[in-house]
Amino acid sequence: MNSNRSNTILLLPVGIGIVLLALLGLHIGDIPTNGLDVYNAIFTYSDSNLSELIIREIRLPRVCIALIAGAALSIAGMLMQTLFQNPLAGPYVLGINSGASLMVAIGILSGAGFLSTELGLIGAALIGAFVFGLFILFTASFLRSQIGLLLFGVMLGSFVSAIITILELSSEAESLKAFALWSMGSLNGVTIEQLPVIFLVFILGGVASLFIVNPLNLLVLGEEECRLMGYNVKRLRLMIVFITALFTGLITAFCGPIAFIGLAIPNLTRMLFKTQDHKLLLIANLLFGALFLLSCDILIQLLSAWILIPINALTSLIGAPFVIYILIRKIR
Amino acid sequence: MIEIKNTEIGFDASLFAIPEMDFDQGKVHVLLGKNGIGKSALLNTLSGLIYPIEGSLSFDGKLLPDYSYKHLAKKIAYVRSNVKGVPFLTVDAFLLLGRYHDKNFIGKHSAEDYALIQKAKDLFGIAHLADKFTNELSSGELHLCAIAKAYVQQTDYILLDEPTSHLDYANKRKVYELLGKMASEYNKGIMISTHDLDLAFKFPFDFYLIESQSKTLKSVKTFKEVEREFI
């Protein structure tokens, strides 16, 4: 226990790093701005100043969504890994993203009525994520093998992409382009008007996670052990799926699919903090996830003069090798 | 007291019957029988994990299904035969989970909780393992920790499914001695299943045999009575 406590000090530099990178994120971009503009944009904002307008309307939402998406996806991954007692579980590999993607694809590509409106898309993504989450939970009840469940998630993903391909072929050029851009993943699409809603949903999921940190500590011993210690596991499982779907659906709707964060960050935090204390893990995933995605986004912007990298591509480029490293470590 | 009457025990189908049997607190009850005869099924049933195929059982005058999960966790601790270690879960953290049923949702541990796990560690001789991760222990060490966790749970009854099968001879003896002590000094009702016949019969325990011929549970007094079953 003592060995864990000394590691919590790691959270401090991460927190400071987030603040510094966030300021950097507000500062850099195609149009040069200086530190004073950033200060003014935050504290004494006036929309008649172009620099301040850009910082406030374009960069601030981008920085915020990077932080929220990174944190939300990492927490979702932690929840999945504890639920399935599987270090390789995550919202992306298990196909919970696919549920959200499918609904978004139907919304954008069909261009039909309510589904293609902003609110409709978010609702659809949340429902898709939740239904797929329940589907995986149900499958896990009889598919006991860890690898089997992951394969199931991958198959679910393939199945959904097949359906999406068919939808793409039969849709119009305009919506096809919109969907293609969405599916690359982007932190650009969020406007400052949307931020409060996103923030609210994120807080809702965060608070809900806080409520289940203690049962999660127990869940690492297995479901029967949980039951023997007097806890209703069914309720806990539903709660986990609900929170995961909330986070995944929210982020997928606004930013497109973002791979590997939900898999890599929870593993990284468990390795760094060497604990199963989920209160600490929750905070760690929140901070590390936020820091990681914001770093990725800033890296993308710094490189944008030479090469354009979609966010989903970058997280995969970094995340996939890391996951392979975990796999090799685990098997040895 | 655990009271069982006209009950059929099994996982999906009935494995054996218990016409009538009472298990008192303050004693160690030893369950004997061949592999697959239903010892674990009985322990699972008593723990509330599965229901009896037929009939009912009661703890201290109250039917088992009438207990809430939480209340049951305060009444009965159950050490499974296959305890598994968890990466990054220290022995201390593992033992503290034994206090879970006593916690509100904030889950803060009290000074008494820490005193209790310290006592458990001393009692079972695992103090030197406190900071180790549970997945890095030997199966014997891990099992001692699991029994210590059941002690930390502070229940009236403790069920143990083959608690000594992973242990070396010295630790087998120690566990039997400790179980006897917990029964007599703390008035706990303890039920174990075991295949360590020779050793178990050296202790002043109560013995029960699930007979493979009649498929019933009956009380036995001497080693002679069970001998036939295993030859």
Assess whether pLDDT exceeds 60 at residue A3: no
Number of domains in chain A: 1
CATH number of the structural domain spanning residue A196? 1.10.3470.10
Mutate to test the interface with B, among A209, A213, A276, A279 (most CBs of B within 10 A): A276
Query: How far is A262 from A89, CA to CA, in rounded Å?
Result: 8
Tell me what the mean pLDDT of segment A326-332 comes to. Answer: 75
Does B72 contact A230 at a Cβ distance shorter than 8 Å? yes
- Determine what percent of chain A is predicted with pLDDT higher than 70: 96
CB A44 within 8 A of CB A56: no
CB atoms within 10 A of CB B66: 11
Query: How far is A299 from A293, CA to CA, in rounded Å?
Result: 10
Q: What is the per-residue pLDDT for A326?
A: 83
Tell me what the mean pLDDT of segment A122-140 comes to. Answer: 91
Assess whether pLDDT exceeds 50 at residue A309: yes
Quote the minimal CA–CA distance from A91 to chain B in Å: 22
- The Cα-based distances of B150 to A143, A161, B193 in angstroms read 30, 49, 16
Average of per-residue pLDDT values in chain B? 92
pLDDT band at A87 (very low <50, low <70, confident <90, very high): confident
Does A1 contact B71 at a Cβ distance shorter than 8 Å? no
**Do β-strands B189-193 and B157-161 pair in parallel, antiparallel, or remain unpaired?**
parallel
pLDDT band at A2 (very low <50, low <70, confident <90, very high): very low
Average of per-residue pLDDT values in chain A? 88
pLDDT band at A43 (very low <50, low <70, confident <90, very high): confident
Of A101, A100, A111, the C-alpha closest to A170 is A111
Assess whether pLDDT exceeds 70 at residue A1: no
Assess whether pLDDT exceeds 70 at residue A38: yes
B49 contact residues in A (CB cutoff 8 A): 224, 227-228
Q: What is the per-residue pLDDT for B56?
A: 87
∠ Cα A272 B97 B146 (to 5°): 100
**Domain residue ranges in chain B:** 2-230
Chain A: residue whose CA lies nearest to B103: A214
Query: Does B109 touch chain A if contact means CB atoms closer than 8 Å?
Result: no
Query: Does A14 touch chain B if contact means CB atoms closer than 8 Å?
Result: no
CB B93 within 8 A of CB A276: yes
B48 contact residues in A (CB cutoff 8 A): 228
Query: How far is B8 from B157, CA to CA, in rounded Å?
Result: 21
List chain B pLDDT tens, one digit each, 231 residues: 999 999 999 999 999 999 999 999 999 999 999 999 999 999 999 999 999 999 989 999 999 989 999 999 999 999 999 888 999 999 999 999 999 888 877 778 899 999 999 999 999 999 999 999 999 999 889 999 999 999 999 999 999 999 998 899 999 999 999 999 999 999 999 999 999 998 999 999 999 999 998 999 999 988 888 888 887
- Residue A93 DSSP symbol: T
Q: Which amino acid is at A328?
A: I
Asked whether the whole model's pTM tops 0.80, one would answer yes
B73 contact residues in A (CB cutoff 8 A): 228-230
Query: Does A230 touch chain B if contact means CB atoms closer than 8 Å?
Result: yes
Q: What is the per-residue pLDDT for A332?
A: 58
Q: What is the per-residue pLDDT for B108?
A: 84
In this predicted model, what pLDDT tens digit does every residue of A225-283 receive, in sequence order? 999 998 888 889 999 999 999 999 999 999 988 988 999 999 999 989 999 999 999 99
Q: What is the per-residue pLDDT for A42?
A: 79
In this predicted model, what pLDDT tens digit does every residue of A189-209 receive, in sequence order? 888 888 999 999 999 999 999
Q: What is the per-residue pLDDT for B229?
A: 83
What is the extent of the structural domain holding A197? 2-331
Q: What is the per-residue pLDDT for A141?
A: 83
CB B110 within 8 A of CB B102: no
Q: Which residue stretches of chain B are H helix?
A: 39-47, 69-75, 91-96, 111-124, 139-152, 169-186, 197-200, 223-230
**Do β-strands B76-79 and B157-161 pair in parallel, antiparallel, or remain unpaired?**
parallel
pLDDT band at A119 (very low <50, low <70, confident <90, very high): confident
Tell me what the mean pLDDT of segment A104-115 comes to. Answer: 77
Architecture of domain B2-230: 3-Layer(aba) Sandwich (3.40)
Query: Does A5 touch chain B if contact means CB atoms closer than 8 Å?
Result: no
Tell me what the mean pLDDT of segment A292-297 comes to. Answer: 96
Quote the minimal CA–CA distance from A2 to chain B in Å: 8
CB A260 within 8 A of CB A278: no
Full DSSP string of A28-43: -SSS---HHHHHHHHH
Assess whether pLDDT exceeds 60 at residue A105: yes
Query: Does B115 touch chain A if contact means CB atoms closer than 8 Å?
Result: no
Of B218, B215, B214, the C-alpha closest to B206 is B218
- Determine what percent of chain B is predicted with pLDDT higher than 90: 81
B94 contact residues in A (CB cutoff 8 A): 221
Instruction: Write the residue in A218, A222, A228 that is nearest to B47 by C-beta.
Output: A228
Does A221 contact B86 at a Cβ distance shorter than 8 Å? yes
A228 contact residues in B (CB cutoff 8 A): 47-49, 73, 77-78
Chain A: residue whose CA lies nearest to B129: A1
